[in-house]
Amino acid sequence: MYRTRKFYILALALLMLVPAACSQAADPVNISESDAGKTIELKKGDTLVVSLEGNITTGFNWEMAAPGPANLKQIGEPEVTPTSGLVGASGTIVLKFSAVQTGQATLKLIYHRAWEKEVPPEKTYEVTVVVK
């Protein structure tokens, strides 16, 4: 009976440590237009958040140029925060990526209208991403 009680106490202590270990996820790495051309270092499992100016009411949006880097996977769709409540206001477009495998690659984003296939992008944004 003494061993059983010891086992339950140990098991309870371990269960209490699990949430603490899970809650220690790394903070996201935030970059913006001022980081263009730089090298960004991430650890596998980190989140990269890219915030760029744009105005989706004009039909333009930021997206990853194909083919995307193998070491990053986009998380969800771009999120838009307008600078004001006015119709047609520009704002910030946020893209999130997860570092899924080690390696070095270039993350290239293009600002364009998706339906204009033969028109060059209005703007481009590139960073080198190293996942360790």
Model pTM score:
0.79
Which residue has better confidence, 26 or 123?
A: 123
pLDDT of residue 23: 46
Question: Which segments of 23-122 are extended strands (E)?
Answer: 29-32, 39-42, 47-54, 61-64, 72-82, 91-99, 103-112
Of 49 and 86, which is predicted with more confidence?
A: 49
Give yes or no for residue 1 having a pLDDT over 80. no
Q: Choose the weakest-confidence range: 51-55, 65-69, 71-75, 110-114.
A: 65-69
CB 65 within 8 A of CB 123: no
CA distances from 60 to 8, 63, 65, 103, 111 (A): 59, 10, 14, 31, 6
Can you tell me the distance from the alpha carbon of 116 to that of 122, in angstroms, rounded to the nearest whole number? 11
Q: Can you name the CATH fold of 26-131? A: Immunoglobulin-like (2.60.40)
pLDDT averaged over every residue in the chain: 88
What single-letter DSSP state applies at residue 117? T
* Domains in the chain: boundaries: 26-131
| pLDDT tens digits, one per residue of 80-119 | 999 888 888 899 999 999 999 999 999 999 999 999 999 9
What is the structure's pLDDT at 5? 58
- Residue 66 vs residue 4, higher pLDDT: 66
Instruction: Assign 2 a pLDDT band (cuts: 50, 70, 90).
Output: low
